[in-house]
Amino acid sequence: MALQWEQVTVDAADPVALGRWWAEALGWVVLNDSADEYEIRPDQDRLPGLIFAPVPEGKTVKNRLHLDFRPDDQRAEVARLIALGARHADIGQGEQPWVVLADPEGNEFCVLAARHG
């Protein structure tokens, strides 16, 4: 039996606003703009995607699962994401070669250092 990774579901207070933010941050397309299930993907036919679903409770602790991104230029990408509304996040990581950011609803993600070679 084979499995294909379809998407990651993200709980959100405002799925539309958070989904739009991530679509802009990643340069992805919107497949479904419903407030009940806002879905974005790299393009219409590529997986995996992200679905943003409404939940009544707010985020209270560090994420148990987070996304890592590897840019060509870490410093420029961190600056771009902060300009879009991300913020630095301290989850006890100390001094590391990656940068931990949080999206507008506080979900942590990492911007890794550029790959060398």
pLDDT at position 98 over 60: yes
Alpha-carbon torsion 54, 55, 56, 61, what sign? negative
pTM of the model: 0.90
Cα–Cα distances (Å) from 102 to 32, 67, 85, in that order, read 24, 11, 9
Backbone dihedral angles phi then psi of residue 81, each to the nearest 5 degrees: -65, -40
Residue 71 in domain = yes
Domain span at residue 115 reads: 66-117
Helix ranges restricted to H, the chain: 15-26, 74-84
Residue 84 in domain = yes
Residue 61 in domain = no
pLDDT at position 91 over 80: no
Beta-carbon neighbour count of residue 103 at 10 Å? 21
Q: Which residue has the higher pLDDT, 112 or 93?
A: 112
CATH at 74: 3.10.180.10
Residue 21 in domain = yes
The identity of residue 66, as a single letter, is H
How many structural domains are present in the chain?
2
> 36, 56, 76 — which closes off a domain?
56
pLDDT at position 117 over 60: no
